[in-house]
Structure 1
Amino acid sequence: MTVGMSDLFVKICGLRTARDVDVAVEAGADAVGFVFAASPRTVDAETARRLSGRVPDHVLTVGVFRGQSMEEVRRLTEESGIRAVQFHGDEGPAYYEALRAPGRTLIRATAAGELPVRCGELDEDLLLLDAPDPGSGTPWNWASPRFTAPEGRWLLAGGLHPDNVRQAVEATGAWGVDVSSGVESERGVKSEQLIRAFVAAARG
């Protein structure tokens, strides 16, 4: 998997328009996400293919799935041409085995909890640690002294925005960050100013 030049990996998720994608890339994002699960940010495979065609090779294109059949995930992945698959539900090891392919990055998203987790437990390439209610923009207590950072390469998500992302990175030592609602002017609508501000703040 190719990442950007920055030490901190930044993913901007829930993009739906060409302008969203262009701004995220120009701002220096390492990955852009397209949501195929039910959400105010959902796109279809044709839209994702058109948008991912605007993305340079050094930026990872990610499809986000939750509670969908293996056949649907495979179809949408192939039709859209995305290079990474993010599972945001209860998908078991069989999903990761079935979707593993040369040049494809697999991301496992899980909710933060009391027990420590480790990247690679389901043969994923990246781990995403999110709030208990993913996509809601609700923060979780990543600053708690009881929080144990996952082992391996992991992205911090959940309630991040330009005003708190640097603090979150410094508190947790996250390898990367992921944001969606924290760069929106209203639910499902991205803000160019907030995207740029988030990437700049994340990298200090």
Structure 2
Amino acid sequence: MYVKICGLRDASTAAHAIDAGADAVGVVMSPQSPRHATFAEATDVVSAARSADRRVDAALVVNRMPAREAAETALGLGFDVLQLHGAYTADDFAAARKILPRLWRATSLAQHPALRAGAFGEERLLVDGASPGSGRPWDLSLIDGAVLGDAWLLAGGLNPENVAAAISATRPAGVDVSSGVERAPGEKDPDLITRFIRAARS
């Protein structure tokens, strides 16, 4: 089970997530988010990923930054992956791919009921709830794995207590969590991170 811990802003928490078994660490650059990271904070998280003794994906997550600018930013900061979240188009993905080949698409079934992994040429599709970052669970019965395909991650409202059941119900290739491992908005809790990763792989 592929596990991404998102919304990180410092090297020590990123290193803890990696030591606990995370496959990917995510950094959010969105001024409207309590998890918004500065360039310096983003660089620290990337450095933690690079220092790991195994391969860990470092992902930059944006939702309003123009796609080409986001790809240039991700490349400049050393990220492996750019995650375009929300109302980005296939043309946006094509423009970004010319700069950084590894792209993930994040959206919701509320926005795009007929989702399928790879439709925009993305490496992975992240299926989120209708209110990203809120931590609110959503109706997982809307998911049809046969329609989504194989290369997709489940997100939205996940936490250490419900992630195992959510995985059992939907059978994703991986999971993504941010608010579900926080003690307060934007403040990650190392113990919750550890518990989440263990539960996702239980």
On whether the aligned pair clears a TM of 0.5, the verdict is yes
Choose which of 57, 60, 64 in structure 1 pairs with 2:57: 60
Question: Are the equivalent residues in 1 in contact too, given 2:85–2:105 (CA < 8 A)?
Answer: yes
Residues 79 and 172 from structure 1, CA distance in 2 versus in 1: closer, same or farther, beyond 3 angstroms? same
Contact 2:7 2:27 in 1 (8 A): yes
Query: Does 2:122 correspond to 1:129?
Result: no
1:43 aligns with 2:40: no
Preserved contact between residue 46 and residue 80 of structure 1 (Cα < 8 Å): no
Structure 2, gaps ≥5 residues long: none
1:110 partnered with 2:104: no
Residue 20 of structure 1 corresponds to 13
Contact kept, 8 Å, 1:46 with 1:79, in 2: the verdict is no
Deviation at 1:173, TM superposition (A): 0.6
Query: What are the within-5 Å matches in structure 2 for residues 1-204 of structure 1?
Result: 8-38=1-31, 39-55=33-49, 56=52, 58-100=55-97, 104-113=101-110, 115-142=113-140, 144=141, 146-149=142-145, 150-204=148-202
- Give the percent of matched residue pairs that are identical in Structure 1 and Structure 2: 39
Report the Cα distance in structure 1 between the residues aligned to 2:106 and 2:9, rounded to whole angstroms.
21
Structure showing the higher helix proportion among its residues: 2
Matched residue count: 195
Q: Distance in 2 between matches of 1:185 and 1:101?
A: 39
CA distance in 2, matches of 1:71, 1:151: 27
Distance 1:71 1:120, change over 3 A: closer
C-alpha displacement of 1:51: 2.0
Q: Deviation digits for residues 79-104 of structure 1, max 9, x if unmatched?
A: 21111000112111222112225874
- C-alpha deviation, 1:78, in angstroms: 2.5
**Structure 1: tracts of 5 or more residues without a match:** 1-7
Distance 2:97 2:72 in 1: 14
TM-score norm. by structure 2 comes to: 0.90
| Residues 3, 24 of structure 2: 8 Å contact kept | yes
Separation of aligned partners in 2, 1:49 and 1:154 = 27
